[in-house]
Amino acid sequence: MTELIKQISGREVVATDLTHRHLLVVGQTGSGKTTTTLALLSQLQRANQTAIIFDPTGEYAKLPNATTYRLGGNAYLDAGSLSADQLLMVLGLAGDGWLKEKVSTAITALRIQQNVLASTGVYQKRDRQTREFESQVAKLDDWTSGYDITCLADQLVEETVRPYTDERANYRMLGQVYDRSVINSHWDQLVTLRERLNNKGMRQLFGTVKTPGVVKTELNFVLKMFLAQPSNHKTLVLDLSALKSFGAGQQMVISVLLRRLLEDRLAKPGHFPVSIVIDEAHRYLPSKDEDLAANGIFQILREGRKVNLAMVLTTQSPLDLPAKLRSQFAGALIHRLTTPEEWAALGLTPLDVQLDTGQVLVIQDGQEVTSGRVNLPDWWEGGQL
Ligand SMILES: Nc1ncnc2c1ncn2[C@@H]1O[C@H](COP(=O)(O)OP(=O)(O)OP(=O)(O)O)[C@@H](O)[C@H]1O
Ligand SMILES: [Mg+2]
């Protein structure tokens, strides 16, 4: 088997040694990060090391022996795995106070409709006894998070019901009439919400677009199943290229998936090691330091090691990463960098020469251990260069 790196100097590096702790793959665009990561993954497969790739561009589909799920194709995200706030963030409506207040009660109502009443459409609140509603809420639990997100805007209308304001008022009911003034004053928000939910990308994300003949699997479920037992030389690729147009929304989706994965692992003992690869990680990281603690990537970097999760992150410049996050990596594969500031951000002095495409410097615990050229995997089109 070809080694990972054709050395120029230093000692031989073994892929599993590099990925045993968090690893950063860094270098300017076109310098070879994705190719190196593919070569690394090939080696991990041979070593029977389980790996999961969050692939923002669809470039990892070519990896042999990969099980691929494509968001918007054969995979979707259960809207029920997002909180109301997270959902509004994905929809780009996080700043709206009224929606923030009402969406979570609307989701509860839709969960009752689907899981307790086993019915479709909106959950009618008008003329509904409060006690009946309360006993239905009590039946909700972790297994009943699913709901029909396509009904969300209509359900928000239902959330405005009020008792009559005259002697006909019955305060044992959730409401008897719609509050037309509230509906009117928030009509624009409702229209926007409807539009966002109807957006093609959003329908792909939540699996609400029907494709005849295509069986879709929920992403959290895919991850859970894949992590239920060690893989047999297999790698899981989650193609997330459909998220490209989502801006901050894609951050939220990745963050939610990773947090769930970490929680699942923390809840169960006895873990086999798993590498989590995130290409172009800067797309998924918050720009503000204060948002870092809640981010799934950061949480795995900080807590993943105790449950045998190690990350491989690729990004173009170390300056794309918040300093707090940079310090979590034990090793780095450094490709071509452009400025002295980028070297300094990694605690290194710049090289005298520029690295060619595919050339790397291997750093472990702040020290250079090897430099050389990454060998293309045997299956690479056209073979070795
Ligand atoms: N080790 C290598 N040997 C030979 N060719 C390579 C090597 N690494 C990369 N290349 C070639 O260089 C080109 C760019 O590589 P790659 O896509 O991996 O860069 P990248 O750093 O991931 O870029 P981007 O930031 O744009 O995603 C590819 O066409 C690839 O085939
Ligand atoms: Mg790349």
Instruction: Report DSSP letters for 286-338, one per residue.
Output: -SSGGGTTT-HHHHHHHHGGGGTEEEEEEES-GGGS-HHHHTT-SEEEE----
CA angle 91, 95, 101 (to 5 degrees): 90
Look at ligand 1, atom 14, and give the residue with the nearest C-alpha.
30
Q: What percent of the chain is modeled with pLDDT above 70?
A: 98
Q: What distance in Å separates the CA atoms of residue 301 and residue 307, rounded to the nearest whole number?
A: 11
Look at ligand 1, atom 9, and give the residue with the nearest C-alpha.
32
pLDDT in tens, 345-370: 999 999 888 899 999 999 999 999 99
Q: What does the pLDDT read at residue 12? A: 86
pLDDT in tens, 201-257: 899 899 998 788 889 999 999 999 998 887 776 799 999 998 888 877 888 899 999
Which residues lie below 8 Å from residue 365, measured CB to CB, with a gap of 6+?
A: 330, 331
Among all bound ligands, the one having the nearest atom to the CA of 279 is 2
Burial tier of 57 (Cβ tally within 10 Å: 0-12, 13-18, 19+): middle
Q: How far is CA 85 from CA 53, 96, 101, 171, 206, in A?
A: 26, 10, 9, 30, 16
Could you tell me the two tokens for 281? 């990680």
For residue 385, the ligand 1 atom closest to its alpha carbon is 4
- State the Rg of the chain over Cα: 25
Ligand 1 contacts CB of residue 317 (under 6 A): no
Asked which of 50-64, 162-176, 244-258 is least confident by mean pLDDT, the reply is 244-258
Q: Which residues surround ligand 2, an ion (CB under 5 A)?
A: 33-34
Ligand 1 contacts CB of residue 30 (under 6 A): yes
Ligand 1 contacts CB of residue 34 (under 6 A): yes
Q: What distance in Å separates the CA atoms of residue 139 and residue 135, rounded to the nearest whole number?
A: 7
Q: What does the pLDDT read at residue 385? A: 45
Tell me, rounded to whole angstroms, the distance of Cα 87 from its chain centroid: 13
Which residues lie below 8 Å from residue 343, measured CB to CB, with a gap of 6+?
A: 337, 349, 350, 351
Ligand 1 contacts CB of residue 56 (under 6 A): no
Pairing type for strands 235-239 and 66-70 reads parallel
- Which is more confident, 352 or 55? 55
- Mutational pocket test of ligand 1: of 5, 38, 357, 385, the residue with most ligand atoms within 8 Å of the beta carbon: 357
Cα 291 to ligand 2 centroid, rounded to whole Å: 26
Q: What does the pLDDT read at residue 1? A: 61
Mean pLDDT of all residues belonging to the chain: 92
Among all bound ligands, the one having the nearest atom to the CA of 315 is 1
Cα 305 to ligand 1 centroid, rounded to whole Å: 29
- pTM to 2 decimal places: 0.90
Ligand 1 contacts CB of residue 35 (under 6 A): yes
Q: What distance in Å separates the CA atoms of residue 240 and residue 60, rounded to the nearest whole number?
A: 11
Q: What does the pLDDT read at residue 359? A: 96
Instruction: List the one residue out of 313, 329, 369 whose CA is nearest residue 36.
Output: 313
pLDDT in tens, 98-153: 999 999 999 999 999 999 999 999 999 999 999 999 999 999 998 888 999 999 99
Among all bound ligands, the one having the nearest atom to the CA of 26 is 1
- Mutational pocket test of ligand 1: of 7, 25, 34, 55, the residue with most ligand atoms within 8 Å of the beta carbon: 34
Q: What does the pLDDT read at residue 229? A: 81
Confidence of residue 50 (pLDDT cuts 50, 70, 90): very high
For residue 29, the ligand 1 atom closest to its alpha carbon is 25
Which residues lie below 8 Å from residue 44, measured CB to CB, with a gap of 6+?
A: 15, 16, 19, 51, 235, 275
Asked which of 31-35, 43-47, 247-251, 330-334 is least confident by mean pLDDT, the reply is 247-251
Q: What does the pLDDT read at residue 382? A: 59
CA angle 144, 100, 94 (to 5 degrees): 105
Could you tell me the two tokens for 243? 């998220």
pLDDT in tens, 299-326: 999 999 999 999 999 999 999 999 889 9
Could you tell me the two tokens for 74? 């054969």
Contacts 24+ apart (CB under 8 A), 175-182: 175/125, 175/126, 175/127, 175/128, 176/126, 176/127, 177/126, 178/126
